[in-house]
Amino acid sequence: MNREAAGSQGDLTESEQIDAIVAQAGGWKGPTLALLRDCIRLADPGIQEEVKWRKPSRPTGVPVWSRDGIVCVADVLKSAVRLTFPKGAWLEDPGGIFNTRMDSRTVRAVDFREGDEVNEPALAALVREAVTLNAQSRKKR
């Protein structure tokens, strides 16, 4: 049985678990996370959804999108929904949407706050660039 079919929370698939995380986000954060998720999945239909890093303080875990490695991770914070790109420092970001974790040597992130417009084309370009970077890194191994 594959990981998606087994699920880690009862019989829920990884995608259903992310559906639950979106629903629990509430307020403006739920629809924002749903929009980001749609944008990520449309940018690369081959991307895999996963839920990782469950712990007592976050029993539902964290939504993760992967293809040949992690592409991005979503966090619902107190005042923002954050998308973190583990290899973001190597991405060009022509849309200029990275706005946090700028001091990191590897990671870059985007905080979306209430009322922020999501630059969907720029986000989709970042996702595709991260997928390409992962594929290139995998070929070098």
Coil vs helix vs strand at 103: coil
Domains of the chain: 3-140 (3.90.1150.200)
Phi, psi (deg, nearest 5) at residue 21: -65, -40
Q: Measuring CA to CA, which residue among 98, 100, 62, 56 is closest to residue 79?
A: 100
Is the predicted pLDDT of residue 129 greater than 90, yes or no?
yes
> Which of the four pLDDT bands, split at 50, 70 and 90, describes residue 7?
very low
Cα end-to-end distance, the chain, whole Å: 28
Q: What is the pLDDT of residues 55-85, one digit of tens each?
A: 888 888 999 999 999 999 999 999 999 999 9
The mean of the pLDDT values for the chain is 90
Tell me which DSSP letter residue 27 carries. T
Distance of CA 79 to the CA centre of its chain: 17
**Lowest mean pLDDT segment, chosen from 2-16, 17-31, 120-134:** 2-16
pLDDT at 135: 92
Is the predicted pLDDT of residue 125 greater than 90, yes or no?
yes
Q: What is the pLDDT of residues 24-63, one digit of tens each?
A: 998 999 999 999 999 999 999 999 999 999 888 888 899 9
Helices (H), the chain: 3-6, 14-25, 29-43, 120-140
Asked whether 67 and 48 are in contact (CB, 8 A), the reply is: yes
This prediction's pTM? 0.88
pLDDT at 141: 57
> Dihedral sign, CA of 28, 96, 100, 45?
positive
